[in-house]
């Protein structure tokens, strides 16, 4: 890997932090999806990195809804909860000549946006650019919904407080390979049907946007993942059809799921011509999810897709909130993905 300074657009858009936008502003590398102004974000798992020779940094926020973890040289040193419109100073006791900072959003924010305005210090340094990129597309399993909870019965506030995307299987896998990543997931959404049939855009309709506003288009500048992992189907099939839904039979729902999933992967292929797809599914819904994903993969391969595989998992304890994967489950799924990648090292395309 080569050394490079990650440059970032610094957009304050009239906030009260104008004094921070100075020569002391540190270059910023951002992971995941965000938009102007000042790294506005909603998708889970976004993160921000910088490096400095200074022994103190200031973090600037405009976010009253999320929890963040601050890492110093790879170790968590501070948890920042609902910071609001403020700055947070951190003094390093590291003996390293250069300190590397990483800020990770660990909560899910579906209906509101947060903003991280940036790091500032007086001695910028270089970060190592990563060559590997991996993307995870999914639902609450991919988010890490309630994964740190000690119980399954949770209130909405408890779900929020116990969701830690940084410990979900996607970030665990990406960090294992020193890869940049995106977590493009939304709890409760499916390919064509959301959980128990509730109204809202399914994941393929949310996917093109940086924010959940249906208008802030995502521009994939510099984003060409070598691997795209998709786990969608639990919300489509885990509940019975309700009166008034568009599908009158289970077979109609399955056919719509398969057709839409195939079209979604083909749209991703058009934008990522070299990526390898890994379609994941659990043994939930009495095997219905696994069976439908198997048929989706077969249809894609029959249409000429060659860089695609499936990965199925079972035996989870589902100890998180509302019977979601626990931390142990996340580690198990991450291990399965890592085992598959290790058996197919060429998917990194030499990077």
Q: Which residues are catalytic?
A: 140
Decide if 218 contacts 208 (C-beta within 8 A).
Answer: yes
User: What letter would DSSP give residue 37?
Assistant: T
Contact residues for 339 (Cβ-Cβ < 8 A; gap 6+): none
User: What letter would DSSP give residue 25?
Assistant: B
- Give CA separation, 254 vs 41, 289, 301, 310, 322, in Å: 33, 9, 18, 18, 25
Q: Which residues pair with 128 in a beta bridge?
A: 3
Our CA angle for 143, 149, 151, nearest 5°, is 130
User: What letter would DSSP give residue 196?
Assistant: G
CB atoms within 10 A of CB 220: 13
Look at residue 191 and give its three-state secondary structure: coil
Decide if 133 contacts 228 (C-beta within 8 A).
Answer: no
Structure tokens at 6: 């990650």
Phi/psi class of residue 63: alpha, beta or left (left: φ > 0; alpha: ψ in -120 to 50)? Answer: beta
State how far the Cα of 80 lies from the Cα of 82, in Å rounded to an integer: 7
Residue (of 240, 124, 140, 245) closest to 183 by Cα position: 140
């Amino acid at each position: 890997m080569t050394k490079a300074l990650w440059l970032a657009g610094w957009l304050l858009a009239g906030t009260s932090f104008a004094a921070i936008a100075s020569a002391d502003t540190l270059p910023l590398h951002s992971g995941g999806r965000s938009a102007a102004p000042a790294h506005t974000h909603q998708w889970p798992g976004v993160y921000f990195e910088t490096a400095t020779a200074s022994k103190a940094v200031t973090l600037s926020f405009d976010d009253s809804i999320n929890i963040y973890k601050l890492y110093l040289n790879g170790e968590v040193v501070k948890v920042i909860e609902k910071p609001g419109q403020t700055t947070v100073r951190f003094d390093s006791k590291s003996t390293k000549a250069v300190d590397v900072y990483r800020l990770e959003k660990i909560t899910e924010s579906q209906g509101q946006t947060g903003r991280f305005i940036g790091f500032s210090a007086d001695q910028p340094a270089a970060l190592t650019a990563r060559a590997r990129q991996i993307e995870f597309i999914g639902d609450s399993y991919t988010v890490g919904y309630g994964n740190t909870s000690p119980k399954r019965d949770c209130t909405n506030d408890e779900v929020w407080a116990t969701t830690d995307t940084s410990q979900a299987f996607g970030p665990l896998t990406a960090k294992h390979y020193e890869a940049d990543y995106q977590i493009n997931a939304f709890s409760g959404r499916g390919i064509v049907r959301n959980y128990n049939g509730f109204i809202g855009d399914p994941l393929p309709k949310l996917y093109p946007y940086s924010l959940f506003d249906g208008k802030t288009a995502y521009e994939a500048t510099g984003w060409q993942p070598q691997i795209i992992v998709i786990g969608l189907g639990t919300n489509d099939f885990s509940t019975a059809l309700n009166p008034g839904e568009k599908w009158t039979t289970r077979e109609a729902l399955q056919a719509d799921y398969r057709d839409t999933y195939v079209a979604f992967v083909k749209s991703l292929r058009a934008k990522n011509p070299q990526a390898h797809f890994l379609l994941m599914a659990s043994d939930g819904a009495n095997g219905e999810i696994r069976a439908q994903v198997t048929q989706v993969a077969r249809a894609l391969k029959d249409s000429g897709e060659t860089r695609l595989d499936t990965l199925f998992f079972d035996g989870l304890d589902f100890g998180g909130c509302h019977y979601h994967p626990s931390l142990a489950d996340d580690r198990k799924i991450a291990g399965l993905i890592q085992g598959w990648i290790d058996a197919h090292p060429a998917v990194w395309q030499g990077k």
